[in-house]
Structure 1
């Protein structure tokens, strides 16, 4: 993975973390005394749960790249392929969430 890609992934992690915080705060502040409020709260928490999953995936890629986690694969080539798959998956999920919240 190139250094510029690592920087982009770290920026992406910060953006997803910011969105996660905003969504969770909105869910916490949603009133549950009405049917609409309960539905809104559940919807916001489901978005927050997906954001947390995306953030965990991104952080795992960063940890793998920084050597904080042992590599999954036996060879550097297969490890690189695995990391690229994780990156693509995380970016796709983050983009879906950004479009949903826009």
Structure 2
């Protein structure tokens, strides 16, 4: 993975974290008195869970790249392919979450 990609991933994770915090703030402002409110709150908590999953995936890629955790694959080529697939999945999930928020 190139250094510019790592920087883009770090920025992406910061944006997702900001979105997750905003979503949590909205969820906290919703009451529990009506069925509609409970449903809205549950939906937002589901979004927060998905955002946290995306952040965890991104952090795993960054940790592997930095050497904080060992790579999954035995060869450098297969590890690069694995990392690229994780990046694509994380970016796709982030795009979906951003689209829901807008």
TM-score interval for Structure 1 and Structure 2 normalised by the shorter chain: over 0.9
Deviation of the 1:24 alpha carbon = 1.2
Deviation of the 1:27 alpha carbon = 1.1
Taking only aligned residues, the RMSD between alpha carbons, in angstroms, comes to: 0.6
1:2 aligns with 2:8: no
Deviation of the 1:35 alpha carbon = 1.3
**Where does the alignment leave 5 or more consecutive residues of structure 1 unmatched?**
none
Q: Which runs of 4+ in 1 moved over 4 A?
A: none
Counterpart in 2 of 1:56? 56
Aligned residues: 102
TM-score (norm 1): 0.97
Counterpart in 2 of 1:27? 27
TM-score (norm 2): 0.97
Counterpart in 2 of 1:16? 16
